[in-house]
Chain A
Amino acid sequence: MESSIQKHILFEYLAGRATPLEKQAVEEWLKQEENTEQFHRWVFEWELQQPQYVPDSEAAFAALLQRIDEQDEVVGSSVPGGLPMARRLPHLNWRIAASVTILLCLAGWLLRKPLLYKAFNTDYGQTSAFVLEDGSHVTLNANSTLWVPRFGFRGAVREVLLEGEAEFSVRHTRDHRRFVVRTPKQFQVEVLGTEFTVYARPRGTRVALTKGRIRLDYQQGTQQKQLLMKPGELATMNQQGTLSIQKTDKPELQAAWKEQRFVFNNTSIQEICALLEENFGLQVRVDDAEIANRTITGNFKAQTADDLLDVLQVVLDLKIRKEKNALFLYNSDSSYNSL
């Protein structure tokens, strides 16, 4: 009986085109357990030949690995002697299991942060460079904080938390441990060994990649999304949570602040004001929309906020007026002069 079934008949059967006789023969054949292996092999072949669609296997695999790692973390942090969550509740829908995992991680993480993490801070107008215990280099820009595990990196993931802006040069470990930069928003950067800059401030989040390959995990609406970045790309997430990718010729310019340089490329005055506030804690206001939208292109060295303001004054022919805690920029020939 079984020898009467041939591959093309099975394919016809699967496609719903078999004659009633063929159908009967196939099903008789299928009832014999020893044919199951062969049947699955042919289904596999059929799916290779007639794929219904092509899934993004790369992203799916990355998500699977992440899930496995998160599971490891929960198992690691559960009560000693207790069974891992998932083993006690084998029939639990995995979505629930996943959200519980995330909630547990979040709760544990919130409570234990000051205990388990050491913070590196920079003040306004200050940058600082240091080497992590795994040999990775970090340069922190002004007004930024980097949280690093107090007792060293453990487990399969090297994880740090960034608020502000920093450049990373990640050392690849022999056992391929992943390096993950989390940011306060649902946004994280994951790497093996590479150089890149992360900007994570209330104004938005930005990642520029110089070398290697990184993956961004972020949330859009309620969906978890991922994106693989190639060198020379700049990913920007605005306040609304929309992510966009641009090509940059010089990703290393994103870290020009390391040398107290500011690189502007059609940068509006408004953006520079935001920059002054982030890096130097200066409130700078421009009431004139025409000024706010003017742009600057160039490469300026500035140690302090005053250096940068001098540049603006000269290049744009503006005047600066101090008022309480804020500075005002205005046209030198405008009526403000008479006030």
Chain B
Amino acid sequence: MVHPLLKIASPKQPALTPAMDDKPQDRNLRDGEPRQLDAELLLRETFAQDPRKGLELLFRKYHAPLCSHAVRFVYSRQIAEDLVSEVFYQFYRTQAYQNINTSYLSYLFRSVRNEAFTYLRREFGRTAPLDLSSENQPDVKQQAPDAEIQYNHLFMKVNEAIAQLPAQCQRVFLMSRFENRKYHEIAEELRISPKTVEAHMAKALRHLREVLRGEWLLLLLILIQ
């Protein structure tokens, strides 16, 4: 395995050259996959003519899958949707659509995964000793190739951690976090006291924090610029 820091030494991830661009397409044809770059041709043309219309098409196509993906990291539909909307907003505001050299799909998934990671680190990573040095979020373009793997590990870890929770505790956690419901509503529905709800939540969050603590050290090594 190449040491991650060595990879980071290169200032910018090389842009997809036309030659490399062709490669995935060829493979697509072989696998009978839809050719994404071609499928996005209409999007590109729309963006060139009317960015607002382009944004709408892009949003309709990718919003739901992106939210579904983000929620695997943050386990809250509210937060997931906020993160995804933020990515679309920045994509539009900074006119990133004019100068990206990947497909829109790849850009959006990479950004959402990155945002979700940053969010989780803010929420659950405060206690990690190395955190101080990396408050600035890593630029999407400069991330190391290992980052995608680490993102995968992260959301799988979160999944595992939540699956490990005792049944009632998990239920409370999902109602509060995923569905964004108030403690007293949960207490009423499950017929437990609000204090118990609080205790379940504290337990779930503590567990998540503990499980993720190890992850941050790995991730930070990779993502420090």
Contacts and interface: CB of A to CB of B under 8 A. Distances in A.
B149 interface: yes
A48 B65 CA distance: 6
Contact of A41 (B2, B55, B56, B106): B106
B145 A55 contact: no
A52 B64 contact: no
Interface string B96-118: 00000011011001100000000
A301 B113 CA distance: 64
Contact of A36 (B59, B72, B106): B106
Nearest to B83: A94
A52 B109 contact: no
Q: Which of B33, B36, B67 has most A Cβ within 10 Å?
A: B67
From A44, A48, A91, A94, name the one whose CB has the most chain B CB atoms within 10 angstroms.
A44
B contact residues, range: 35 or more
A16 B159 contact: yes
**What is the size category of the interface that chain A forms with chain B?**
35 or more
Given A40-B105, A60-B63, A61-B59, 15 more contacts: A7-B31, A34-B16, A34-B20, A37-B16, A37-B102, A37-B103, A41-B103, A43-B69, A51-B65, A52-B72, A53-B67, A55-B77, A61-B63, A64-B88, A67-B85
Interface of A: 3, 7, 13-14, 16, 27, 30-41, 43-44, 47-48, 50-55, 57, 60-61, 63-64, 67-68, 71, 86, 91, 94
Q: Which 9 A-B pairs have the closest CB atoms?
A: A47-B65, A40-B109, A40-B106, A55-B67, A51-B68, A57-B63, A52-B68, A47-B68, A52-B71
Interface of B: 2, 13-14, 16, 20, 23-24, 27, 31, 33, 36, 55-56, 59-60, 62-69, 71-72, 77, 80-81, 84-86, 88-89, 92-93, 102-103, 105-106, 109-110, 136-137, 145-146, 148-149, 152, 156, 159-160, 178
